[in-house]
A and B are shown apart, each in its own frame.
Chain A
Amino acid sequence: MTAPLLRIRDLAVSFATYGGVLQALDGVSFDVDKGRVVALVGESGCGKSATALSILRLLASPPARLVRGEIRFEGRDLLHLSEREMRGVRGARIGMVFQDPMTALNPVYTVGFQLIEAIRLHRKFTRKEAREQAIAGLAKVGFPEPAARIDSYPHELSGGMRQRVLIAIALACSPTLLIADEPTTALDATIQAQILELLQKLRVDLGMSLLLIAHDLGVVASIADEVVVLYAGVVMERGPTASLLSAPAHPYTRALLRSIPPSGPTAFRTRETKGRSLPTIEGTLPDLRSPPPGCRFQARCPDVVDRCTTDAVPLTSRSGGGAVRCFLAEVAEAAEPAATTDVA
């Protein structure tokens, strides 16, 4: 098997805060293969964005500090590149779409200017050539009348259009990996459907890999091949989307899935069935300045046993592909022989 496009191993990042050192990521490992869509899911504060920003080395240091780990992309360890080499990766090889299309664009420049800027940073094009490229790029992301509207300012565009511009900028230099941080969260339902369809199409057309950061498991289900579930800076479970969502092995994944209001034509509640309440996850994230020994989910876990509060839990491979970090799931899998730790 060929090496994955992006390979993250044992990534640990801490932040210095006034209250002490906060362990934001603690031993995160996963791969993104060529042409695949991998989704990072979890609640806010669990380390999704910290992972994405670490890949691009965009975390300000200090307060952020790389404790240990390796991020191998196209054969190079990104964590040991010089800032100058890194600039050749950012934008050129790895594109990034930020969460909020309302604030990610500069309001005082036209979208054309910002798109051309991105193109000319990495390629030796004349202004005219770059402009043609920019128009072609906008057309590719389904921006209507790109030649006429390339000189619009961000405030003249709707949220969906701005998100298309951001995707066009991220794709300007045909990156092999696109990182999208909550690309549809700020958008309306029908526009969200359009953007998801676009990402799906681009991935097929361009053979690009996608690292998607999302908290909406519905979005994840509709586009991702694999899912990585993060909790308090630790990978709790990962695996192929279909099996992970249909048969989650970790109590946290199960709790997350249960707390989503059911949908579908039979999900509505009549007056009679009201009063049945939605399952919730009680409690809050552990204090990452002094995480508890053992499992980080212990305080909120419905199935917690004594061992969970004392022993470090290894990430154990599952027979159906994927891996889970839970003693109870480990017992369930014990019949299967392959039980390697950490590196799948």
Chain B
Amino acid sequence: MKTNFRTAVLTVLIGAGTVCSAVAQDATTILQKMDEVMYSQKDMTGKNKIILIDKAGKQEIREATIQQKGTDKRMFRFTAPASQAGIAFLSLPGDVMYMYLPAFGRERRIASSAKNQNFAGTDFSYEDMESVPFSQKYTPKLIKTETDAFVLELTPKVRSDFSKVTVSIHKEHFYPILMEYYDRGGNKVKEAKYTFKKIGNYWNPAEIEMTDLKKGHTTKMQMTDVKYDTGLSDDAFTVRALVQ
């Protein structure tokens, strides 16, 4: 009897282990699928309309062009308002970032600590603007399955300003719907709402609404004129291109 009991406990433990492993496997797979949806294109060009909305509802609009190749090359150039037109950012592999200020007349290397900061007065950080796959940055755990979405809890693999991020991922198309960012004290500090639209073979984040819950400030980033896989050359992601 004692032997049977031991066998039963062992079976349950093995079973539980298998279930846990399956869940972990699922979370990893789900996150990888989300990365595929977000980053599978070879390159992308588009226009970006950035709407800053303060607590009182007052809006400010900025416009930019964006070019991206793979997951680690990106050129972002402001076209409006006049005070910012011409300011450009180039991100390259290995945390190498340059900024071009027309008034400065040359490129300037940006300290990688800039990644902690908000990008050009928006509620997005430089890190949010990167295209590094989430599965590279976070360890996922499936915490809930809703009617339309999987909810994952992501724990940063390296030191971060956030203790965790929860992400709701569309069950059928695997794009993110909502991301919630928690500080080290466990308080929700930021949330991003995504609206995806299909362009050709790819799902495109037509609008990302990022809200800083502490400040009550929101930034909407809307993408238009998006083109995928146009064969962008590496020439477009050089300091030479940045300063021209």
Decide whether A and B assemble into one complex: no
Q: Chain B residues in contact with chain A, CB under 8 A? A: none
